[in-house]
Amino acid sequence: MLAYERLLRYAQFPTASEPDNPNCPSSEAQLVFARALVEEMHDLGIDDARVDEHGYVYGTIPANIPNWQGTTIGFIAHMDVVRDVPFENVQARVVKNYDGGNIVLNEEKGIVLSPQEFPQLREYVGHDLVVTDGTTLLGADNKAGIAEILTMAEILLQNPEIKHGDIKIAFTPDEEIGRGADKFDVEGFGAQFAYTVDGGAFGEVEYETFNAASAKVRIKGKNIHPGTARGKMKNANLIAMEFAALLPSDERPEKTSGYEGFYHLTDMKGTVEEAQLSYILRDHDWDKLQQKKETVLRAAAEINGRYGSGTVEVEIKDSYRNMAEQIRPHWHLIENAYEAVREVGGEPQSKPVRGGTDGARLSFMGLPCPNLGTGSHNHHSTLEYASVQAMDQCTAVLVKLAQKYAYFTP
Q: How far is CA 200 from the centre of its chain?
A: 10
Q: Where are the alpha helices (DSSP H) in 120-215?
A: 140-158, 186-189
Contacts of 352 (CB under 8 A, 6+ apart): 206, 208, 209, 210, 258, 259, 284
Q: How far apart are CA 15 and CA 176, in angstroms?
A: 11
Catalytic residue among 80, 141, 208, 358, which? 80
**Cβ proximity of 56 and 27 under 8 Å:** no
Q: Give the CA distances from residue 68 to residues 58, 72, 162, in Å, rounded to whole numbers and listed in that order.
A: 21, 10, 14
Q: How far is CA 106 from the centre of its chain?
A: 27
Residue 146: φ, ψ to 5°? -60, -45
Contacts of 24 (CB under 8 A, 6+ apart): 54, 55, 173, 174, 179, 182, 183
Catalytic residue among 174, 175, 198, 283, which? 175
Q: How far apart are CA 48 and CA 37, in angstroms?
A: 12
**Cβ proximity of 168 and 73 under 8 Å:** yes
Is residue 349 classed as helix, strand or coil in its secondary structure?
strand
Q: Where are the beta strands (DSSP E) in 221-261?
A: none
Has 175 been annotated as catalytic?
yes
Q: Where are the beta strands (DSSP E) in 321-409?
A: 371-372, 376-377, 385-387
User: Which active-site residues does the annotation give?
Assistant: 80, 175
